[in-house]
């Protein structure tokens, strides 16, 4: 008795109570809910009027709801069932003044929320939602870089009055790949041209070709530049996706980079991601170009070749050809704001350019008063086509002129664009506002789980856990009697501690994660059995009960620790390699081993000490 340190009582007592408190929020469950925000330019917060308006709307359509609350300017409506939740969604969907998102709201009492106690987060397989994996087209981003370089070079050469016969991309050679070849008219300009190229981008690798027949400079995009560009493209895309998801109004979205060139987007509660995907993956942007008024577009269309310095486009309104100057005045990524407006002449998008774009726009319009300017709608698409019975991915750029108009006066950085359909205009405004993608995105994985399946999965997981635990508890109680009840208590507190730990570290509970909890219970029994078998053995060998208990714990310790280390190793590897649901399993497995070690070695010792060794006369052990 003297050798049993008192701090163990305190440690086990405190941790168990703390565990109970932290695990408690998980008992309450969640209500299906709908998150509603007001649309509009500045996203006005939902006030009392908006709350009453929504409540009246839902009542008038016969949708039953539990209660409403406002948090961070957003309205949260709770429903008694998923059926009512989906009914409400359909009602709200038709109201353009509301943005909505399916979500779930914990039923945790207010005082717990005030204490910051939260239940475990549920994975998409338990709550329903969409899981999207996008591949960032890095090659596309590097090609884009080359395109910008080409434009900059043309302009600088022209401004420096260096005559060139051609600027053309070279066939890809070696790492980094992309290179531009500038063929000059006079060999004497070589030095000047080289300096100029270095000024456009000092990181370019420059090579000269002094062949008098075709003096040329090759500017190569180095590997470093390519990598930098790729990283930039992914970072930029992450930001853009975040902005776009904000525009969509999804609750608790998750956007993460995965590996070298993938982005994972998780949209809880989104059970039909068609709308989300159209917006997220859209590469739609705008370009402003001057119209080539000298050459005949019909002629160019017939010959199939555009005159030098121009490019042939198709008009959206009548499908006719139009020639535009190659030089771009401004592009969609120079926009700082865009909003949709329904005007008398049709749907319009108000845009605002940044200072650089605005300045160029002002310069161009001043120099070209009375000439025509066009707005081009550009979208990159990847389509799967069947070639010889096999699916092949084909990239296609859709470019068409949505409007062209005579420049009547000086354009500042604010103006309107018309010529879009009623669905395109608000979507384009959203896209422009969220920023352009720095590189095209392609969806490579998509998983959608409906809310009903998520609910079934939770129920199944919990059922399996309850039945499994009941069986074990019954067996242990019969087989080990009092010690069995101690083991059951310890197993239960193991589940409580594990739940508490998972809730605290904000782990995401998935279906394999529930499987992990069940497996942990099964494996945690082991430590208890090792100890009890050892105690029985000592008793059989005629050791006194008190000594048998001490020896049992002592001797079983190495075996318990050892046998768990390897499972721990597997758990860690799984965590490192896995993603999504499997990672959820790995987290549970790893933490479950730690909690079961604690409860079996220290926890059960304390309980047994309380029952037996404190007594002066132990008598027979009930084992």
Q: Within positions 382 to 411, which residues make up the interface with other proteins, using CB under 8 A? A: 382, 384, 391-393
Task: Report the residue from 59, 302, 460, 614 that binds other proteins according to the rule CB under 8 A.
Answer: 460
Q: Are 117 and 22 in contact (CB under 8 A)?
A: yes
Site string for other proteins, 420-459 (x = CB under 8 A): ----------------------xxxxxxxxx-xx--xx--
CA distances from 383 to 241, 333, 391 (A): 21, 25, 10
Strand runs labelled E in 28-128: 30-38, 68-71, 74-78, 98-106, 121-122
Q: Is residue 81 involved in binding other proteins (CB under 8 A)? A: no
563 near other proteins (CB under 8 A): yes
Report the residue number, 137 or 404, with the smaller CB distance to other proteins.
137
Closer residue to other proteins (CB): 36 or 86: 86
Number of residues that make up the chain: 623
How many residues touch other proteins under the rule CB under 8 A: the total is: 80
Q: Least separation, in Å, of the C-beta of 494 and other proteins?
A: 13
User: Cβ–Cβ contacts within 10 Å for residue 35, how many?
Assistant: 21
- Residue 101 is given by DSSP the state E
Q: Which residues, 319 to 338, sit near other proteins by CB under 8 A?
A: none
Query: Which residue's CB is nearer to other proteins, number 46 or number 437?
Result: 437
Q: Is the sign of the CA dihedral 356, 357, 358, 364 positive or negative?
A: positive
Q: Which residues contact 517 (CB under 8 A, 6 or more apart)?
A: 465, 495, 498, 588, 592
Residues numbered 32 to 71 that lie near other proteins (CB under 8 A) are none
Q: Alpha-carbon distance 371 to 375, whole Å? A: 14
Shortest separation between residue 35's beta carbon and other proteins, angstroms: 21
- Scanning the structure block, which residue is given the tokens 């370019």? 204
Among 578, 609, 611, 618, binds other proteins (CB under 8 A): 578
C-beta of 87: minimal distance to other proteins in Å?
15
Q: State the minimum distance, in angstroms, from the CB of residue 483 to other proteins.
A: 12
Judged by CB under 8 A, which stretch of 33-41, 202-210, 217-225, 563-571 contacts other proteins? 563-571
- Residue 171 near residue 471 (C-beta atoms within 8 A): no
Q: Could you give the angle at which helices 545-577 and 581-598 cross, rounded to 10 degrees?
A: 160
Q: How far is the CB of 510 from other proteins (least distance, A)?
A: 9
Nearest approach, Cβ of residue 391 and other proteins (Å): 4
Residue nearer to other proteins on the CB measure, 249 or 450: 450
> Nearest distance from residue 582's CB to other proteins, in Å?
5
Which string of x and - marks every residue 493-532 that binds other proteins (by CB under 8 A)? ------------------xx-xx--xx-xxx-xx--xx--
**Which residues between 222 and 251 bind other proteins (CB under 8 A)?**
none
Shorter beta-carbon distance to other proteins: residue 284 or 469? 469
Q: How far is the CB of 610 from other proteins (least distance, A)?
A: 24
> Among 49-57, 164-172, 290-298, 579-587, which window interacts with other proteins (CB under 8 A)?
579-587
**Applying CB under 8 A, which part among 332-340, 354-362, 420-428, 582-590 lies near other proteins?**
582-590
Residue 226 makes CB contacts below 8 A (sequence gap 6+) with 142, 145, 176, 177, 178
Q: Output 106 or 592, the one with its CB closest to other proteins.
A: 592
Interactions with other proteins, residue window 258-287 (CB under 8 A) = 271-274, 277
Examine residue 90 and tell whether it contacts other proteins (CB under 8 A): no
Q: Of the two residues 511 and 548, which places its CB atom closer to other proteins in the complex? A: 511
Strand boundaries in 49-187, DSSP class E: 68-71, 74-78, 98-106, 121-122, 129-136, 164-170, 179-184
- Which lies closer to other proteins via its Cβ, residue 497 or residue 539? 539
Residue 564, judged by CB atoms within 10 A of its CB (0-12, 13-18, 19+), counts as: buried
Which residue in 467, 547, 610, 615 binds other proteins (CB under 8 A)? 467
Listed in sequence order, the residues at least 6 apart from 562 whose beta carbon sits closer than 8 Å to its beta carbon are none
Q: Is the four-CA dihedral 298, 302, 307, 312 of positive or negative sign?
A: positive
Integer Cα distance of 292 and 282 in angstroms: 29
CB of 536 to other proteins, least distance (A): 7
Alpha-carbon span 506 to 120, nearest angstrom: 6
Residue with tokens 């402003």: 288
- Contacting residue, 49, 60, 318, 566, with other proteins by CB under 8 A: 566
Q: Which stretch binds other proteins (CB under 8 A): 69-77, 343-351, 426-434, 462-470?
A: 462-470
Q: In the range 150-179, which residues lie near other proteins by CB under 8 A? A: none
What are the structure tokens assigned to 209, written together?
A: 């070709």
- Output 299 or 446, the one with its CB closest to other proteins: 446
Question: Per-residue x/- mask for other proteins, residues 293 to 322, rule CB under 8 A?
Answer: ------------------------------
Rounded Cα gap, residues 514 and 512, in angstroms: 5
Residue from 98, 340, 585, 612 binding other proteins (CB under 8 A): 585
Residue ranges in 121-140 that form contacts with other proteins under rule CB under 8 A? 125, 130, 133, 135
Nearest distance in Å: CB 482, other proteins: 13
By DSSP bridging, strand 285-291 and strand 321-331 are antiparallel
Long-range contacts for 170-179 (Cβ within 8 Å, ≥24 apart)?
170/218, 175/223, 176/220, 176/221, 176/222, 176/223, 176/225, 176/226, 177/142, 177/221, 177/226, 178/142, 178/143, 178/145, 178/146, 178/220, 178/221, 178/226, 179/218, 179/219, 179/220, 179/221
Q: Judged by CB, which is closer to other proteins: 30, or 526?
A: 526
Single out the residue of 171, 565, 616, 617 in contact with other proteins (rule: CB under 8 A): 565
Instruction: Tell me how far the alpha carbon of residue 159 is from its chain's centroid.
Output: 44
């Amino acid at each position: 008795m003297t050798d049993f340190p008192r701090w163990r009582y305190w440690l086990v007592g405190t941790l168990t109570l703390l565990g109970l408190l932290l695990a408690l929020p998980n008992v309450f469950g969640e209500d299906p809910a709908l998150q509603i925000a007001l649309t509009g330019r500045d996203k006005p917060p939902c006030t009392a009027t908006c709350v009453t308006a929504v409540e009246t709307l839902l009542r008038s359509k016969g949708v039953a709801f539990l209660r409403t609350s406002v948090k961070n300017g957003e309205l949260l409506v709770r429903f008694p069932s998923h059926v009512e939740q989906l009914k409400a969604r359909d009602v709200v969907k038709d109201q353009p003044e509301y943005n909505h998102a399916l979500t779930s709201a914990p039923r945790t009492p207010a005082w717990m929320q005030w204490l910051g106690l939260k239940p475990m987060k549920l994975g998409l397989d338990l709550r329903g939602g969409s899981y999207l994996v996008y591949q960032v087209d890095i090659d596309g981003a590097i090609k884009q870089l080359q395109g910008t370089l080409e434009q900059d070079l043309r302009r600088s050469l022209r401004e420096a009055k260096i005559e060139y016969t051609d600027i053309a991309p070279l066939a890809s050679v070696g790492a980094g790949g992309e290179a531009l070849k500038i063929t000059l008219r006079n060999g004497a300009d070589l030095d000047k041209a080289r300096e100029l190229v270095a000024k456009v981008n000092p990181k370019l690798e420059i090579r000269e070709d002094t062949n008098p027949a075709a003096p040329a400079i090759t500017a190569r995009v180095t590997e470093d530049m390519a990598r930098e560009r790729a990283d930039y493209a992914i970072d930029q895309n992450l930001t853009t996706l975040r902005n776009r998801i904000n525009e969509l109004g999804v609750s608790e979205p998750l956007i993460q980079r995965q590996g070298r060139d993938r982005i994972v987007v998780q949209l809880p509660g989104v059970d039909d991601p068609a709308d989300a995907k159209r917006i997220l993956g859209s590469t739609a942007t705008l370009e402003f170009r001057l119209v080539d008024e000298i050459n005949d577009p019909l002629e160019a269309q017939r010959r199939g070749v555009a005159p030098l310095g121009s490019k042939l486009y198709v008009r959206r309104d009548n499908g006719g050809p139009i020639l535009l100057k190659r030089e771009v005045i401004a592009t969609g990524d120079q926009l700082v704001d865009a909003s949709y407006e329904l005007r008398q002449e049709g749907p319009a998008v108000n845009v605002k350019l940044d200072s650089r774009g605005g300045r160029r726009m002002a310069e161009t319009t001043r120099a070209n008063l009375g000439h025509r300017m066009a707005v081009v709608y550009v979208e990159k698409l990847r389509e799967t086509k069947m070639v010889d019975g096999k699916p092949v991915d084909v990239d296609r750029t859709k470019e068409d002129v949505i409007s062209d108009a005579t420049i009547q006066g000086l354009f500042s950085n604010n103006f309107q664009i018309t010529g879009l359909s009623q669905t395109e205009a608000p979507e384009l405004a959203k896209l422009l506002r969220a920023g352009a993608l720095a590189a095209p995105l392609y969806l490579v994985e998509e998983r959608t789980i409906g809310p009903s399946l998520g609910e079934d999965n939770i129920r199944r997981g919990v059922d399996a856990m309850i039945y499994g635990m009941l069986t074990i508890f019954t067996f242990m109680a019969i087989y080990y009697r009092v010690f069995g009840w101690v083991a059951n208590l310890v197993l239960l507190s193991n589940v409580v501690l594990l739940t508490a730990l998972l809730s605290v570290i904000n782990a995401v509970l998935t279906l394999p994660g529930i499987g992990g909890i069940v497996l942990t219970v099964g494996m945690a029994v082991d430590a208890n059995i090792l100890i009890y078998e050892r105690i029985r053995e000592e008793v059989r060998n005629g050791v006194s009960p008190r000594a048998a208990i001490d020896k049992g714990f002592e001797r079983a310790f190495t075996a318990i620790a050892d046998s768990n280390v390897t499972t721990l190793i597997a758990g860690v590897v799984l965590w490192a390699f896995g993603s999504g649901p499997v990672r959820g399993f790995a987290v549970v497995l790893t933490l479950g081993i730690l909690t079961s070690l604690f409860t079996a070695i220290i926890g059960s010792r304390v309980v047994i000490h309380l029952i037996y060794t404190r007594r002066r006369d132990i008598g027979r052990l009930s084992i």
